[in-house]
Amino acid sequence: MIKRIVLAVDGSEHASKATALTAEIANKFGAAVTVVHAMPKAGSGRVPDELAQFVELEHVQVTEANIMRQVGDEIVRRAEAALRQAGVGKIATTVELGDPATKIAEVARTSAADLIVIGRRGLGRVGGSLLGSVSLKVNHLAECPCLTVK
């Protein structure tokens, strides 16, 4: 019985395919889905020079860290919208800070997931190997079954 699925997303086409398959499986089993995106580093508090004056006038946060956080939020938000569109009812999302594979495996463990769904490749430049480094490491670290989507 599959009750909770952890879906790892990085905004790539492969992650979209993983999202579509996750929706099918979740609907079939009535499972809850936790969408996870992990940022390897927080980014600096630096404001780009060209924007410094605007930032001072408008009091907006355009630090590197803030932009990265917003992109991370948007990546999980889009996956959540796609799941909802496909009829999935129980969805949680999280944006983590740290090594992506370690964080994905950690979220799966702490949420007692029965299945991890992940893309075969991601946003990285397509190299010779079959699996991306995050896919490979999650398959290695996972304590539950891990479905790698082509």
The residue ranges that bind ligand ATP (CB under 6 A) are: 8-10, 12, 14-15, 18, 36-38, 100, 104, 118-119, 121-124, 132-135
Does 40 contact Mg ion by CB under 5 A? no
Say if CB 117 and CB 10 are below 8 A apart: no
- Could you tell which of ligand ATP, Mg ion, none binds residue 118, using a CB distance below 5 to 8 A set by kind? ligand ATP
Output the smallest distance, CB 13 to Mg ion, in A. Answer: 12
Say if CB 33 and CB 92 are below 8 A apart: yes
Does 124 contact Mg ion by CB under 5 A? yes
Does 122 contact Mg ion by CB under 5 A? yes
Put residue 9 in one of left, alpha, beta given phi > 0 → left and psi -120 to 50 → alpha: beta
Output the smallest distance, CB 107 to ligand ATP, in A. Answer: 9
* Amino acid letter, residue 6: V
Output the smallest distance, CB 120 to Mg ion, in A. Answer: 11
Number of residues that bind Mg ion (CB under 5 A): 3
Output the smallest distance, CB 112 to ligand ATP, in A. Answer: 19
Place of tokens 């496909």: 86
Residues paired with 18 in a beta bridge: none
Which candidate, 16, 17, 35, 26, places its Cα nearest to that of 104? 35
- Could you tell which of Mg ion, ligand ATP, none binds residue 72, using a CB distance below 5 to 8 A set by kind? none
Please state, in angstroms and as integers, the Cα–Cα distance from residue 64 to each residue in 39, 70, 79, 106, following that order: 13, 10, 23, 26
As a whole number of angstroms, the distance between CA 100 and CA 25 comes to 23
10 vs 80, which CB is nearer to ligand ATP? 10
Does 89 contact Mg ion by CB under 5 A? no
User: Which residue ranges make up the site for Mg ion (CB under 5 A)?
Assistant: 122, 124, 132
